[in-house]
Amino acid sequence: SQQGEEDPQALSIQEGENATMNCSYKTSINNLQWYRQNSGRGLVHLILIRSNEREKHSGRLRVTLDTSKKSSSLLITASRAADTASYFCATDANFNKFYFGSGTKLNVKP
């Protein structure tokens, strides 16, 4: 299976701290994306990084990709209570067919 797996499964931090979550996958990919899901609702796209990129930034988000290790990390800086959600990585090796991991549940305490 190409499915990505996030680590840790759960993360609890204080507001203002940074949150780092990791994703590992098994086969070659075209791109890797991170999504956020609030309490069982729809997923919202956060950031996409292509296989030929190593790092990407978007606001308080920083994503890295290491294709040699088949891993990615998502860093959320200066976290807020509103960042409390589940975060999923999704890999795409086949056109529009994405594989999602089981997610990291982030709790940011005010």
Partner 1 sequence: DAGVTQSPTHLIKTRGQQVTLRCSPKSGHDTVSWYQQALGQGPQFIFQYYEEEERQRGNFPDRFSGHQFPNYSSELNVNALLLGDSALYLCASSPRTSGRGTGELFFGEGSRLTVL
39 is an interface residue for partner 1 by CB under 8 A:
no
Distance, CA of 103 to CA of 85 (rounded, Å): 10
Pick 19 or 101: Cβ nearer partner 1: 101
CB 11 within 8 A of CB 17: no
69 is an interface residue for partner 1 by CB under 8 A:
no
Pick 18 or 102: Cβ nearer partner 1: 102
Q: List phi, psi (to 5°) of 80.
A: -125, 160
User: Whole-number minimum distance, CB 15 to partner 1, in Å?
Assistant: 25
102 is an interface residue for partner 1 by CB under 8 A:
yes
Q: Which of 25, 98, 106, 108 binds partner 1 (CB under 8 A)?
A: 98
Pick 95 or 110: Cβ nearer partner 1: 95
Distance, CA of 78 to CA of 107 (rounded, Å): 13
Give the angle 85-41-87 at the CA atoms, nearest 5°.
30
25 is an interface residue for partner 1 by CB under 8 A:
no
